[in-house]
A = this chain, B = another copy of it.
Amino acid sequence: MSEEFMRRAIALALLNVRSGQGGPFAALVVKDGRIIAEGVNSVTVTNDPTAHAEVVAIRAACRALGGFQLDGCELYTSCEPCPMCLGAIYWARPARVFYAATAQDAAAAGFDDAFIYDELKHPPEGRRIPMRQMLSSESLAVFAAWREQSEKKPY
């Protein structure tokens, strides 16, 4: 745990707001005591709703490492990850995560994090964005093919 890295993340987030580039969030990935990637919220400048700071930093770190896993890495983020970013963290599998502001702080500033965390507790059909299942039996052929595929690369 390094206060220096978190101060850097907070400074990047502040710069992102003041420069008008995006939301008040930044993140960085550290490996062996060195920053290997940084990311700032770039949703509105890139027209990419998934371009949250953590996702941007994780993508950049994976490019830097030439892999799709962040083994032994630490993620520093200026704010507690939203559900999308938390999911991205679990798929990238860094060793640990440090955050500064909370999801409640983000909600107070007008961001949907807490709302989405709440939605996750409801069953798919009861969510504000309705989700309905269909053709479930036909879809199982895909997983059967996956099991039979001998050259697959698990992730």
Enumerate chain A interface residues (CB-CB to B < 8 A).
1, 3, 6-7, 10, 13-14, 17-18, 20, 23-25, 43-44, 47-50, 52, 55, 58-59, 62-63, 66-69, 78-102, 105-106, 108-110, 112, 115-117, 119-120, 124, 129-136, 138-143, 145-147, 149, 151-155
Contact = CB atoms under 8 A, between A and B. Distances in A.
Contact of A88 (B1, B44, B50, B155): B50
Which of A91, A110, A115, A147 has the largest count of B CB atoms less than 10 A from its CB? A91
Which of A142, A145, A146 has the largest count of B CB atoms less than 10 A from its CB? A142
A83 B83 contact: yes
A101 B139 contact: yes
Which of A59, A85, A88, A89 has the largest count of B CB atoms less than 10 A from its CB? A88
